[in-house]
Amino acid sequence: MKDLIGDYLHYLDVQRGLSPQTRQSYAEDLKQFREFLEAQQLTDFPEDTLVISEFLKVETTSGKMASSLARMVSSLRTFYQYLLVEHVIRTDPMDTITSPKKQQHFPVTLTITEVNTLLTMPDTGKPLGLRDRAMLEVLYATGLRVSELINLQLNQLHLTIGLIQTIGKGNKERMLPIGDVASDWITRYLENVRPSLMIKANPRSANVFLNNRGRPLTRQAVWKMIKAYVRTAGIQKDVTPHTLRHSFATHLLENGADLRVVQTLLGHADITTTQIYTHLSTQKVRQIYNKTHPRA
């Protein structure tokens, strides 16, 4: 069973082009499933729906959230499809397994005032403060994921024509417009800060944003940086790097952007993923209506 899972994960690496985080989630889910089967003294992946249902029942009673269970069902479904194609099994027991409904959690967003406050927190008189300001401006101006930001390469910047290039989930490329303000902050960082960071770099990196040793930044470093500025700004919300992405999308929709355009900018494969922001915008409209209409 372990070898089959290994073959499947290799297939995902070669054929599906999944992000490292998604691949790791699949690996963890299948490891838990294998350990459950081994505890039941089973040596093959079962074609019996009842066995899989029992596994999911155990996971449910252990306190797993609905979203984690839904992901686990998805992991098993794609794995069993692979086993069927490879003729390891003759029937797919996942055909009759339904996914639990996910609880819908609306993402935290910042108001435009809060965003403006946060962007002014870095001390741009200091090299790393100037770098941080440029990073925050880019995150809000483009809706980049943090992984896309820290992997952004110099040859992906096309500032003279107001575009940046990025590689998102599934190795999908997209070109994003970037406004003059964010573009100006990147230029100031590239001219005044990055060269001095590059002197410390060994080996040299083509990444746009570097740490104080001239190496590429990590997700954790960006997370800590943003958390520190949020505290300084006195913002009483659970802000993460993704919050700027959420705010980017919400503010676009509140100001009349088409949902399909926002989907393209965010790099969502399915528009239903983007539609959560329409709920947020609808809430904002309702608040304004209740506050301003005489008979609300």
Q: Establish whether 251 is a catalytic residue.
A: no
| pLDDT average, residue stretch 52-74 | 84
DSSP string, 117-149: HHHT-S-TTSHHHHHHHHHHHHHHHH---HHHH
Region 145-172: mean pLDDT is 91
Distance CA 24, CA 20 (A): 6
Distances (CA, A) of 187 to 105, 137, 175, 182: 37, 12, 19, 9
Asked about 245 being catalytic, the answer comes back as yes
Q: What token pair was written down for 223?
A: 């997370």
277 is catalytic: yes
Distances (CA, A) of 162 to 95, 158, 159, 166, 180: 48, 6, 5, 14, 7
- Catalytic residue, chosen from 245, 251, 279, 286, is 245
Q: What are the Cα distances from residue 268, in Å, to 192, 221, 249, 260? A: 35, 25, 12, 10
- Average confidence score pLDDT of the chain: 87
pLDDT band of residue 253 (cuts 50, 70, 90) is: confident
Instruction: Identify the weakest region by mean pLDDT among 1-5, 14-18, 55-59, 61-65.
Output: 14-18
Number of other CB atoms surrounding residue 241 within 10 Å: 21
The pLDDT, as a whole number, for residue 62 is 81
Cβ 128 vs Cβ 176: under 8 Å: no
Q: What is the CA radius of gyration of the chain?
A: 23
Q: Which of these is catalytic: 145, 194, 246, 251?
A: 145
Q: Identify the pLDDT of residue 228.
A: 95
Structural domains of the chain ordered from first start: 2-96 (1.10.150.130), 112-291 (1.10.443.10)
Which residue type sits at 38? E
141 has a pLDDT exceeding 70: yes
Partners of 290 in beta bridges:
none
How far apart (Å, rounded) are the C-alpha atoms in residues 211 and 225?
A: 11
Confidence label for 218 from pLDDT (cuts 50, 70 and 90) = very high
At residue 254 the predicted structure's pLDDT band, cuts being 50, 70 and 90, is: confident
Catalytic residue among 34, 64, 169, 284: 169
Q: What percent of the chain has pLDDT over 70?
A: 91
Quote the CA–CA distance of 46 and 44 in Å, as a whole number: 6
pLDDT confidence bin for 17, thresholds 50/70/90: low
* 268 noted as active-site residue: yes
- pLDDT-based confidence at 292, cuts 50/70/90? low
Task: Please report, for residues 29, 30, 92, 175, 264, the alpha-carbon distance to residue 34 in angstroms, rounded to integers and kept in the order given.
Answer: 9, 6, 17, 41, 38
282 confidence band (pLDDT: 50, 70, 90): low
Is the pLDDT at 61 greater than 60? The verdict is yes
